[in-house]
Chains A and B, each alone.
Chain A
Amino acid sequence: MTFGGVSYRSFRVWQRNGDVFLRLWHAELVWPIVEPVLILLALGLGLGVFVELGGDQTYMEFLTPGLLAVYPMWGAVAECAWGSYVRMSMQHTYDAIIVTPVNLEDVIAGEIFWGATRGLISTFYIILVALLFTPAYSLVDSPLVILVPIVAVLQGVMFASISMSYTSTAVSLASLNFFFSLVVTPMFWLGGIFFPIDSLPKGFQVLAWFLPVSHVVAIQRGLVEGDLHWSHLGDLAWILVVAAFFFRLALLLMRRRLIK
Chain B
Amino acid sequence: MPSDATAIVSARRLVKHFGTLAAVDGIDFDVFTGECFGFLGPNGAGKTSTIRMITCVSPVTSGELLVDGLDVGRDGRRIKARLGVVPQEDNLDPDLPVRQSLFVYARYFDIPSQVARQRIDEALALFQLQDRANEVVDNLSGGMKRRLSIARALVSEPKILVLDEPTTGLDPQARHLVWRKLRLLKGQGVTMLLSTHNMEEASHLCDRIVIMHLGRILAQGPPADLIIRHVGEEVLELEAADQAEKAQALGHLVGLDGVTVEDVEDIVFVLGLGPHGPQVASELISHGHRARLRRATLEDVFLRLTGRGLIE
Residue A171 lies at the interface, judged by CB distance under 8 Å to chain B: no
Question: Within 8 Å CB of A9, what residues of B?
Answer: 108
- Taking a contact as CB atoms under 8 Å apart, the answer to whether B108 and A23 are in contact is no
Q: Which residues of B contact A16 (CB under 8 A)?
A: 93, 104, 107
Q: What is the distance, in angstroms, from A246's C-beta to the closest C-beta of chain B?
A: 25
Q: How far is the CA of A96 from the CA of B94 in the complex (A)?
A: 12
Interface centre among B76, B83, B93, B156 (most CB of A within 10 A): B93
Q: Is A103 an interface residue (CB 8 A)?
A: yes
**Can you identify 20 A-B contacts, CB atoms within 8 angstroms?**
A9-B108, A16-B107, A19-B104, A20-B93, A23-B95, A23-B96, A23-B97, A91-B91, A91-B94, A93-B91, A95-B57, A96-B93, A100-B81, A100-B105, A100-B109, A100-B156, A101-B77, A101-B81, A259-B59, A260-B58
**Does B242 make an interface contact (CB < 8 A)?**
no
- A23 cross-chain contacts in B, Cβ below 8 A: 95-97
Q: Determine whether B100 belongs to the interface, using a CB cutoff of 8 Å to chain A.
A: yes
Is A207 part of the binding interface, using a Cβ–Cβ cutoff of 8 Å? no
Kindly count the residue-residue contacts between A and B in the assembled complex, taking CB atoms under 8 Å apart. 65
B107 close to A12 (CB less than 8 A):
yes
Chain B residues at the A interface, C-beta cutoff of 8 Å:
18, 55-59, 76-78, 80-81, 83, 85, 87, 89-97, 100, 104-105, 107-110, 156
- Which A43-98 residues sit within 8 Å CB-CB of chain B? 91-93, 95-98
Rounded to whole angstroms, the CA-CA distance of A23 and B103 in the bound complex is: 14
Q: Which of B55, B96, B107 has the most A CB atoms < 10 Å from its CB?
A: B107
A257 to chain B, nearest CB (A): 13
Q: Complex: how many Å from CA A97 to CA B91?
A: 9
Whether a CB of chain B sits under 8 angstroms from the CB of A1 is no
Contact B156 A259 (CB under 8 A): no
Q: In the complex, A99 Cα to B163 Cα: how many Å? A: 12
B89 & A92 in contact (Cβ 8 Å cutoff): yes
Minimum distance in angstroms from A170 CB to a CB of chain B: 19
Query: With A23-B95, A24-B95 known to touch, is A259 a contact of B108 (CB < 8 Å)?
Result: no
How far does the Cβ of A79 sit from chain B's closest Cβ, in whole Å?
Answer: 15
Residue of B55, B96, B97, B110 near A99 (CB, 8 A) is: B55
